[in-house]
Amino acid sequence: MNFLDRAAIPPEAMGIMTARTLANSHPALLSLLEPGVSVLDVGCGPGALTIEIARRVAPGHVVGMDLNPQMIESAEAASPPGEMPNLVFYHGDIRESGWHGEFDVANAARVLQWIANAPTAVQHMARAVAPGGSVVLLDYDHTRARWTGGPGASAPGAEVRGGVWALEPEREAPPSAELTRLISAASRMRHKKMNNNLTM
């Protein structure tokens, strides 16, 4: 299976992705967002979180990028180009990006699990962040997740995350050992070069 196949999102998953907010799906990022902060959102999907990020950090610039062109189309439908002057959506692969010190925060939520050669992705995110900035990674260890039973057909908003039927964010599967290793490796690289923080 090639990477583009892995990046494909079934249409029925779009409702789950567009219902997410920072408060209910990525609260760790909230503490880093304030007016004027610039953010690179890797694997932005249909843009729901990216749009919220752009509102919170305006006038700071925000770039949402995704390898899947359908996700970028959905994101631009949700926030047409120019509607928010500090937001742009970009079709591209973080592993091939050339940013160097242009963002205060680089974020990847539920993304690294889908990327072949995730260490390269994290290295490029770390390079994209300016001195003193942060790389924020949110992912799960699906190998340690266990099914806890599924909701009935009448459970709107239920979502399969990390192999667990989840209705609440705290029921996520734990971070993977691989993610911890990636953070450690990128942190060493950033601390040597720019003294950046990496947050999970």
- 58 assigned to some structural domain: yes
pTM: 0.71
Which tens digits make up the pLDDT trace of 109-162?
A: 888 888 888 889 999 999 999 988 999 988 766 555 554 555 444 344 444 433
Q: Can you list the alpha helix ranges (DSSP code H) found in 40-195?
A: 48-57, 69-78, 118-128, 177-193
Q: What is the pLDDT of residue 18?
A: 55
CATH number at residue 194: 3.40.50.150
Token output for 143: 């190998």
Which residues in the chain show pLDDT less than 50?
1-7, 15, 147, 151-174, 190-200
How many structural domains are present in the chain?
1
- 151 assigned to some structural domain: no
* Residue of 52, 46, 65, 49 whose CA lies nearest to 128: 65
- 165 assigned to some structural domain: no
Task: Give me the residue label for tokens 């949402």.
Answer: 64
Is residue 28 a contact partner of residue 36, using CB atoms and an 8 Å limit? no
- 96 assigned to some structural domain: yes
Strand, coil or helix: 76: helix
Which residues constitute the domain of residue 181?
3-139+175-199
- 135 assigned to some structural domain: yes
